[in-house]
Structure 1
Amino acid sequence: MVPFAGYAMPLSYGSVGQVASHNHVRTSAGLFDVGHMVQSNFRGVTAAAFLEWLTPSSLKSLSPYSSALSVILNENGGIIDDTVITKHSDDAFYVVTNAGRRDRDLAWFRQKLEEWNSGEQAKDGKVEHEVLEDWGLVALQGPQAAEYLQKSTSFDLAKLTFGKSAYVTIGGFTLHVARGGYTGEDGFEISIPPSQTVDVVQLLSQSPVQLAGLGARDSLRLEAGMCLYGNDLDEDTSPVEAGLSWVIGKDRKESGNFIGADSLRKHLKDGPPRRRVGLVVEGAPARQGAQIFAPSGKDMIGKVTSGIPSPTLNKNIAMGYVLSGWHKKGTEVEVDVRNKLRKAVVTPMPFIKPNYWRG
């Protein structure tokens, strides 16, 4: 158990090491306890408009029970948090945010709800925010996840494609199930009422499913090119710098009225000063904070934000930010790993081909 975002979280389970757990998720199925994350409901006639003020995403055009990866922006266009927003109906949204940003996010929501509900925007109706305190959230991930979960439900999971969700009866419990995840594999994120969490986890963690901890979660997400807030994203980083411009709705790039829009449009128009890139590093793994240099070894051009030896690829992979111009595929750079410059190559992400179920 290790401290993580104010919680005690399992790094690994039993005698199963991080690499073995990682490989099991890539080849079979693993179950992650992600109940530390903050689950919220936003309801009201103007809920979509409110969330489109907080984020640059096109939420009104989402079909019911569809999800969007999004970002909550500050006034300067920096990322307060990354989030997944699921539209249940035009006036009901389910939002998952990071545990490490809980205090910042909830204070921001309170402040902005107060502004919204006392303003002209709420003339058609106010927005209510409910935090699902103590609810469970588990992620069943891996190529055998669907086959395994199908044994516990009569719901046809083949109809639930990536980015969609539904209320599904699993082992007698009716649960919110979203198809997606953080590993690059097919999988499901299952939200569970507090009184049912232990029973559902016991049901879902039978062989071949293995419980998987933070160690495997980190290496899997990095292979999948996914950002970790606090490492790869922060309030001084824009979605354009982070390579997340795709979360900005097409209809919102020019005309969207959202917090941080002016700064975001400047980065879209002029290009950002730096960009998030993937790296393959020779010799030794580069960790968070390692400096990235031009091949001369004299000019520092960026920093590594996450790095690991990849269990799947048997290469040292990393993610970081470099000055614009150094971000193109195949660009050679050097990384300072324990006071020794190591050769590295800018590599497209994700590092592994994702296996999401798209039907």
Structure 2
Amino acid sequence: MSDLLTTPLAGLHAELGARMVPFAGYSMPVQYPQGLMAEHKHTREAAGLFDVSHMGQLKLSGPDAAAAFESLMPVDVIGLGVNKQRYGLLLTDDGTIIDDLMFVNRGDHLFVIVNGACKVGDIQHMKDRIGARCDVTPMPERGLLALQGPKAVDALERVVPGVKALVFMTGSPFQFHGQDIFITRSGYTGEDGFEISVHESQADALARELLAQPEVKPIGLGARNSLRLEAGLCLYGNDIDTTTTPVEAGLNWAMQKIRRTGGERAGGFPGAHKVLGQLDDATQVKRKRVGLIGIDRVPVREHTQLRDMQGNPIGEVTSGLLGPTIDKPVAMAYVDVAHTAVGTRVNAIVRGKPVAMEVAPMPFVPNRYYRG
């Protein structure tokens, strides 16, 4: 643990009795004394505060920044309105996923958030590919907090007046104790909530003010994982990686029509031949990501083999656990396309024995984003 990086909230985590684990090169809180189950349920019912300062924050600036960034992804960057946020996918030249990310049009620059484990590689990839067209500026001095849950807006509005005017996937600059912060109404739990970019010197004070609100409790990475899985959201390195394409991952919705069909901005991104080929011809897709719900109360973990009812291997689980809200085993998996229909029965092989599961639509728990 001594070789790990720490976030600006390291001292606060220690005070709160967090159990720390290595994650993405950082010492991070996996849970607090109340435990994963209680933290998960509190976020669903009230408001949970997450330290996600291990994530990478950067800005892309210059008159060509939007067009340059668009050249790396099958996503509409140029058409994104000011203070609007969008989900993006960095692709390899083979059309597989380097990382997934979020970005906001700040008007004079693009504000980008990438995954912690990928940030060094992502930033270098952007510098190599588009560094001659725009300035790629990492912001390691910024902390990142996520406040999630149905009562997050009540708590945050007291600390940062005006945030309740935001709607899902929009952002705006605000002030905290005279310092600039930037808040988006977004998150990784399926609940309403916010992500707050704050200078590292102000992160501890902001976290303490939020935790002083009656609705808010600290939440660790364990509950963050169970919340995002119930919400049907991919975890990079588990459910998507450089072996999966956006089409296999069921992320067609993240590729806007203007980048997919006709017109001068269709294609032109890395791996476009592969991705557009899969969109145009379903026979090119051999497997797809699906949701699974357990018939029995046996949790099924990642890397568990899946078989059809005749015992033939058909795929593998990429994420799985007992969903605290749904109170059933839930999982994501890649299976061959013949077994992707909702209601299809499959067997997960757990300790050599078949455990019955059924293909189910995602999210497993309805999303509650605030769209106005």
> TM above 0.5, one fold?
yes
* TM-score, normalised by the number of residues in structure 2: 0.91
CA contact (8 A) 1:28 1:142 kept: yes
> For 1:66 and 1:277, how far apart are their aligned partners in 2?
29
Q: How many pairs does the alignment contain?
A: 345
Match of 2:211 in 1: 205
2:25 paired with 1:9: no
> For 1:132 and 1:41, how far apart are their aligned partners in 2?
8
The Cα of 1:134 is off from its aligned counterpart by 3.1
Name the amino acid aligned to 2:31.
S
CA contact (8 A) 1:152 1:171 kept: no
Q: Which runs of 4+ in 1 moved over 4 A?
A: none
2:98 paired with 1:92: no
CA contact (8 A) 1:287 1:308 kept: yes
**Partner-residue secondary structure (3-state), 1:210:** strand
Match of 1:229 in 2: 236
2:372 paired with 1:354: no
**Partner-residue secondary structure (3-state), 1:151:** helix
**Partner-residue secondary structure (3-state), 2:37:** helix
Name the amino acid aligned to 1:232.
D
Match of 1:340 in 2: 353
Deviation string, structure 1 residues 264-309 (Cα, Å, up to 9, x no partner) = 0111112221100000013311100001111112x11100000010
Match of 1:43 in 2: 61
> For 1:291 and 1:172, how far apart are their aligned partners in 2?
54
Match of 1:196 in 2: 202
Deviation string, structure 1 residues 206-263 (Cα, Å, up to 9, x no partner) = 2321110011000000000011111101101000000101111101113231111111
2:126 paired with 1:109: yes
**Partner-residue secondary structure (3-state), 1:325:** helix
CA contact (8 A) 1:78 1:236 kept: yes
Name the amino acid aligned to 1:107.
Q
> For 2:347 and 2:315, how far apart are their aligned partners in 1?
10
2:167 paired with 1:161: yes
Percentage of identical aligned residues: 41
The Cα of 1:106 is off from its aligned counterpart by 2.0
Match of 1:123 in 2: none
**Partner-residue secondary structure (3-state), 2:117:** helix
> For 1:252 and 1:229, how far apart are their aligned partners in 2?
23
- The gaps in structure 2 that reach 5 residues or longer are 1-19
> For 2:99 and 2:105, how far apart are their aligned partners in 1?
19
Match of 1:18 in 2: 36
> For 1:173 and 1:101, how far apart are their aligned partners in 2?
29
> For 1:104 and 1:325, how far apart are their aligned partners in 2?
36
The Cα of 1:172 is off from its aligned counterpart by 4.4
CA contact (8 A) 2:96 2:246 kept: yes
Name the amino acid aligned to 1:215.
G
Name the amino acid aligned to 1:82.
D
Of 241, 244, 260 in structure 2, the residue corresponding to residue 253 of structure 1 is 260
CA contact (8 A) 2:157 2:164 kept: no
- The gaps in structure 1 that reach 5 residues or longer are 118-125
CA contact (8 A) 2:73 2:89 kept: yes
> For 2:253 and 2:143, how far apart are their aligned partners in 1?
30
Name the amino acid aligned to 1:146.
V
CA contact (8 A) 1:153 1:171 kept: no
